Amino acid sequence: MTAGERFQRLPTGAKLFLILTAAILPIGIALVFFGRNEIREANAALQGRSDDQAQAAAEAIEGLVARNALALRIAANGALADGSVQACERARRSLSIAPGVAQDFELEAPDGTPLCATAKIGNTGSLPLTAPGDIHVQIAPSDDSLAIRAGVIGGMATSLIPLEVIQNAAKNSGQKIEALVLRDRTREIRVIGPPDVRNLRLQLTERKIGNGGVVARIGTPVQRITIIDRLLLLLPLLMWVTAAVITWLLVSRLLLRPLKRLQRGVAAYEPGSETLDVPHKLGPSREIQELRDAFARTMARVEQSDREMAAALEGQRRLVREVHHRVKNNLQVVASLLNIHGRSANTTEARAAYAGISRRVGALSIVHRNHFAEMEESRGIAVRPLMSELAAELRAGAPDEARGFAIDLDVDTVFTTQDVAVAIAFLVTEIVEFAMIHCPQEPIEITLRRSSELTARMTMSNRVLDPDKAGEPEKAQFERIVTGLAKQLRSPLDRKLGRYSVDLPVFPPV
């Protein structure tokens, strides 16, 4: 089956849906594709903007650290150059004129031994020793602050940048920072944000601070295309769905439903009804209402034609019945005349000839009478009553020496046509008559069994049936007759000693 044939077999609603899909859906898919590309590019731009915000905040913290480290190194170099006595006071005076730097510090000897301090800055013993000219940055071991240690000639200087100063530096960068965490190899401090940034919709970016010993993890708000923007992106698909649904509803209410109601009314119509019972309200479509009226007019004409044909058929049936009835009566009259003339015949051979002809005419009359009954029931001629009536007729017309001749019947209930019934009647008559004349003291058995759905096997058994004696003149004439009758049944005659069998065409069982 080709695609066109399959399309033609689809319901109207499915056809409309496929047509609308082929017309609108490609456009919607193309618009969605281009819209997705635009959203992807917009999201990439927003992500780049978040990265720039994180970079600006990291640079602000980096600048704060660099400014404090530079001021601390200059102040420590000048203070320790004149000796360790009053070194902290000289360094403090130097730092006091530097804006935006930490004022609390500690001076240490080259081996890390504290020399002096302007305030308690905690335990700095775990900080590594720093050579002159180097700067080391890490999280303070005992405080939530950022420790800076600068190596100078004659020792080292350590200062702490408080958490509030780092917060202000990040916030004053002009960027929206939602989370800021500083960590080194051993500690981590949260500068900005809630305890757990993983529960927020943030974009996290990591940047190295100072000499790389401290890493800043900066969280900026996730900026993405909103759900409304994505829904607007789906408008072409929504247009396709809306068009398909509206079209299907309109076609269903205005066309398909009225047609189905009209179809049910026409399908429920029974021949012989007075009128076609179709719905009066079939929607606003005038064409469907006109179709309903056309159906009603057509059914009225068909009904009128059926009544006329039924009347003509009934007349023809009566005529055929009358013809068969008259043929049966005429055959019975002929059989009666043959019997009358047979009784008045002068010789035995003449009386036997009259009797044989009378039996054959009687068999044909029986077939016509059963065919008359078959016309009443329209099932075919019933073989069982036909055989019973034929056996009774043959026993009644038997010659004097065969008055006690017995015909045993064992017949299944099967039905066949008139032509087959005529051949059966003549075949049974020929064989029974031959048995009555040549072996009147032995009964003949006739059985009929259904052998398949369309065939039945008839078997006649009597000692006189001997295929080996076919060469005798009288037996040869008998064999030619029964062979010809078997050919009318379109089946070969199966001859065995004492038993002749033949297959009969019958109607399937009901």
- Over range 155-182, report the average pLDDT: 80
Please count the CA atoms within 13 angstroms of the CA of 207 that sit on its side-chain side. 19
Report the alpha-carbon distance of residue 70 to residue 314 in Å, rounded. Answer: 127
Higher per-residue pLDDT: 98 or 76: 76
When pLDDT is cut at 50, 70 and 90, the band that residue 153 belongs to is confident
Nearest to 175 by CA among 133, 218, 129, 128: 218
Rounded percentage of the chain residues whose pLDDT exceeds 70: 72
The reported pLDDT for the residue numbered 509 is: 85
Q: 148: helix, coil or strand?
A: strand
> Which range has highest mean pLDDT (121-130, 162-171, 250-259)?
162-171
Output the pLDDT for position 376: 46
Of 65, 152, 135, 75, the C-alpha closest to 100 is 65
Query: Backbone phi, then psi, for 444, in 5-degree steps?
Result: -110, 135
More reliable by pLDDT, 376 or 70:
70
Residue with the bigger pLDDT between 194 and 122: it is 122
Of the listed ranges 7-11, 85-89, 106-110, 436-440, the least confidently predicted one is 7-11
Question: How much is the pLDDT for 339?
Answer: 58
Between helix 12-81 and helix 235-251 the angle, nearest 10°, is 160
pLDDT at 31: 66
Give the least confident one: 18-32, 53-67, 343-357, 469-483: 343-357
Convert the pLDDT of each residue in 242-263 to its tens digit.
777 777 777 777 777 777 777 7
Mean pLDDT for the stretch of residues 479-485: 83
Phi-psi region of 155 (alpha: psi -120 to 50; beta: other; left: phi over 0): left
Mean predicted confidence (pLDDT) in 357-368: 66
Which amino acid is located at 324 in the chain? H
Which amino acid does the sequence have at 495? Answer: R
- As a whole-number percent, the residues of the chain with pLDDT over 90 amount to 5
Task: Please give the average per-residue pLDDT across 102-125, as a whole number.
Answer: 80
Point out which residues pair with 450 in neighbouring strands: 456
Residue 337: pLDDT above 60?
no
Lowest mean pLDDT among 43-47, 95-99, 109-113, 175-179: 43-47
What is the structure's pLDDT at 416? 87
Higher pLDDT among residues 82 and 334, named by residue? 82
- DSSP helix/strand/coil, 449: strand
* Structure tokens, 331: 């055959």
What average pLDDT does range 399-425 have in this prediction?
Answer: 85
Average pLDDT, rounded, for the chain:
76
- Residue 102 is classified by DSSP as -
Q: What is the pLDDT of residue 181?
A: 82
H helices within 82-146, ranges in order?
87-96
pLDDT of residue 241: 75
The phi, psi pair for 9, rounded to 5°, reads -80, -10
In this prediction, residues 177-202 reach a mean pLDDT of: 72
Mean predicted confidence (pLDDT) in 472-488: 81
The three-class DSSP label of residue 161 is strand
List of domains in the chain: 9-227 (no CATH), 323-505 (3.30.565.10)
Q: Which of 117-126, 160-169, 279-288, 404-413 is the least confident region?
A: 279-288
Contact, 123 vs 142, CB < 8 A? yes
Read off the pTM: 0.41
For residue 58, give the nearest of 187, 201, 222, 212 by alpha carbon: 212
Signed CA dihedral, 391, 392, 393, 395: sign only: positive
421, with CB counted inside 10 A (0-12, 13-18, 19+), is buried
163 within 8 A of 143, measured Cβ to Cβ: no
pLDDT band at 502 (very low <50, low <70, confident <90, very high): very high
The residue type of 102 is A
One DSSP character per residue, 456-510 reads EEEEEE-TT--GGGTTSHHHHHHHHHHHHHHHHTTS--EEETTEEEEEEE-PPP-
CB atoms within 10 A of CB 104: 16
**pLDDT tens, position by position, 168-180:** 877 777 667 778 8
C-alpha torsion angle, residues 35, 37, 41, 47 (rounded to 10)? 90
